[in-house]
C-alpha cells in the first residue's frame, strides 16, 4: 500500500487506516464479536493497513483491550493511535484535561494495549475548565518520558457552536495555534467525507501549510457512503445512527442521489461505492489518511483496496456536482 506521512517528523503509515471503534462501541451491540474483530485487524494488517485508531472512551476501555489482544505478536506492524480526555458515564460524556488525569489515562491505555509506547496520542476534547496548554503540556511530558511518540488533536466538528461568521473549524484552529506553541501537533483528526466536506474550507489548508497530518474520521459517512444501507431499515437503540438526523428514513431516502452518483463512478472504475468514497478523501491531499471503521474482514480489506483506486478530473467533477447531503445536527 502507498505510504503517507503524519506530521513534520515524517511518521509513515499506510494511505488507508482502520477505525476500531465499531468493533466494540457506537454501533449495534448484536454485531460485536471479539474473535471476528481480531481477525479483522489481522486482515487489515495483511492488506497493508498500518494505522489503527482507538480511544479509551470506546467501550469504555473495551476497544483498547480488543486492539491490544489483536496486536499480540504483531505490534511492530502497526502504527497505534489512541485518545484521552473524555470520560463516559451512564448518561453523559464529560471532558477531563487535568494533567494528573492525562498521565494516569496514558498509563492505563498502555496496559490495555499491551504496549510500551503509543505512536500517536490524541486529545479527544479540550476540557473547558482547564487551559488547553496545560493539558497539552502534560501530553508533551509523555513524549519526553518515552511513553508516546507523537501528539494529535481531535477537531471539534463542523456542527459545534461557533462565533457568528466564523468558519466551521475556527475553534479548532484557535486551539491548534495555542498548543503548537507548547509542543508540535503531528495530526488532527476531523470528520471528512463526500457528504461532510467542511474540513476542506480551512482546516486542511492550515494543516498542509504546517506539515500536520489529517486523519479523516467517518470517511464513509457512518456507513451510508458504502451504499449498503437502505432507507427505513432502522437501527438498534444503542447504535449512534438511531439518533443521527441523517439516518432518519426520510433523510436516508433524500440522500440517495449522493450514493447513486458514487455508484456510477464505481461501476466505471470497477470499484465498490465505498472505495470511490475513500478515493475521494485520498485525493484531498498527500497529508490526508482516511480512517474508515470496520467490524468484518471483508470490509477492512475492501477499504484498504481504495488506495489503488485513482479518480480522474471527470470523477472529481461529478462528485463535486452531487447535491449536498441533507439532515443536520443544527
pLDDT tens digit sequence for 297-325? 999 999 999 999 999 999 999 999 999 99
Report the C-alpha gap between 330 and 328 in whole angstroms. 5
Output the domain CATH number for residue 86.
3.20.20.100
* pLDDT confidence band for 181 (50 / 70 / 90): very high
Query: Residue 330: is its pLDDT beyond 90?
Result: no
Residue 98 lies in a domain: yes
> What are the backbone angles phi and psi of residue 46, rounded to the nearest 5°?
-65, -30
Q: Is residue 176 part of a domain?
A: yes
Taking all residues of the chain, what is their mean pLDDT, rounded to a whole number?
94
Of 15-19, 92-96, 112-116, 162-166, the poorest mean pLDDT is in 162-166
Tally the domains of the chain: 1
Q: Is 224 a catalytic residue?
A: no
Q: At what angle do helices 297-304 and 273-282 cross, to 10 degrees?
A: 40
How high is the pLDDT of residue 162? 58
List, for residues 258-283, the tens digit of each pLDDT value.
Answer: 999 999 999 999 999 999 999 999 99
Residue 38's contacts (CB-CB under 8 Å, 6 or more residues apart) are: 66, 69, 70
Residue 189 lies in a domain: yes
Q: Which pLDDT score is estimated for 175?
A: 97
Rounded-to-integer distance, Cα 316 and Cα 308, Å = 16
So what's the pLDDT on residue 29? 81
Residue 252 lies in a domain: no
Q: Is residue 30 part of a domain?
A: yes
Percent share of the chain, pLDDT over 70: 97
Helices (H), ranges, the chain: 34-46, 62-70, 99-113, 132-144, 170-179, 203-209, 249-254, 256-269, 273-282, 297-304, 313-320
pLDDT beyond 60 at 114: yes
Region 241-258: mean pLDDT is 94
Q: Is residue 272 in some structural domain?
A: no
CB of 37 closer than 8 Å to CB of 24: yes
Worst-scoring range by mean pLDDT, 129-133, 148-152, 228-232, 261-265? 228-232
Q: What is the pLDDT of residues 6-49, one digit of tens each?
A: 887 788 999 999 999 999 988 888 878 889 999 999 999 999 99
- The Cα 134–Cα 141 span in angstroms is 11
State CA 253 to chain mean position distance. 25
Averaged pLDDT, 177-185: 97
Which set of grid coordinates corresponds to residue 52?
Answer: 489503527
pLDDT tops 60 at residue 52: yes
pLDDT average, residue stretch 199-220: 97
234 is a domain residue:
no
Range of the domain at 214: 3-221+284-309
Question: Which is the catalytic residue, given 27, 58, 121, 224?
Answer: 58
Place of cell 480512517: 291
Q: Which of these, 196, 190, 320, 319, lies nearest to 246 by C-alpha position? A: 196
Instruction: Answer yes or no: is pLDDT of 126 > 90.
Output: yes
Is position 304 within any domain? yes
pLDDT of residue 45: 98
* Confidence band of 119 (pLDDT split at 50, 70, 90): very high
**Tell me, what's the pLDDT at 157?**
66
Amino acid at each position: 500500500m502507498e505510504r503517507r506521512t503524519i506530521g513534520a517528523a515524517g511518521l509513515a503509515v499506510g494511505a488507508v487506516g482502520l477505525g476500531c471503534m465499531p468493533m466494540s462501541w457506537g454501533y449495534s451491540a448484536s454485531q460485536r464479536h471479539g474473535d471476528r474483530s481480531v481477525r479483522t485487524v489481522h486482515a487489515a494488517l495483511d492488506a497493508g493497513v498500518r494505522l489503527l485508531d482507538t480511544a479509551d472512551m470506546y467501550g469504555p476501555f473495551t476497544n483498547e483491550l480488543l486492539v491490544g489482544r489483536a496486536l499480540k505478536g504483531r505490534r511492530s506492524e502497526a502504527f497505534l493511535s489512541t485518545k484521552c480526555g473524555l470520560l463516559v458515564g451512564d448518561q453523559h460524556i464529560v471532558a477531563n484535561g487535568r494533567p494528573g488525569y492525562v498521565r494516569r489515562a496514558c498509563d492505563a491505555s498502555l496496559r490495555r494495549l499491551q504496549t510500551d509506547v503509543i505512536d500517536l496520542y490524541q486529545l479527544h476534547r479540550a476540557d473547558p475548565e482547564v487551559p488547553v496548554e496545560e493539558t497539552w503540556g502534560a501530553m508533551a511530558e509523555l513524549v519526553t518520558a518515552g511513553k508516546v511518540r507523537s501528539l494529535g488533536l481531535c477537531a471539534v466538528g463542523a456542527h459545534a457552536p461557533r462565533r457568528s461568521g466564523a468558519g466551521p473549524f475556527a475553534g479548532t484552529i484557535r486551539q491548534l495555534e495555542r498548543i503548537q506553541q507548547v509542543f508540535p501537533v503531528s495530526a488532527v483528526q476531523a470528520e471528512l467525507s463526500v457528504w461532510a466536506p467542511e474540513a476542506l474550507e480551512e482546516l486542511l489548508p492550515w494543516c498542509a501549510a504546517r506539515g500536520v497530518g489529517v486523519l479523516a474520521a467517518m470517511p464513509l459517512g457512518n456507513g451510508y457512503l458504502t451504499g449498503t444501507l437502505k432507507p427505513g431499515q432502522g437501527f438498534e437503540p444503542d447504535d449512534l445512527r438511531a439518533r443521527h438526523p441523517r439516518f432518519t428514513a426520510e433523510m436516508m431516502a433524500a440522500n440517495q442521489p449522493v450514493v447513486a452518483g458514487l455508484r456510477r463512478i464505481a461501476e466505471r472504475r470497477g470499484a465498490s461505492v465505498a472505495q470511490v468514497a475513500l478515493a475521494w478523501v485520498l485525493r484531498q491531499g498527500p497529508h490526508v489518511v482516511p480512517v474508515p471503521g470496520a467490524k468484518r474482514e471483508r470490509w477492512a480489506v475492501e477499504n484498504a483496496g481504495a488506495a489503488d483506486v485513482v479518480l480522474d478530473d471527470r470523477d472529481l467533477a461529478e462528485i463535486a456536482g452531487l447535491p449536498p447531503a441533507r439532515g443536520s445536527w443544527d
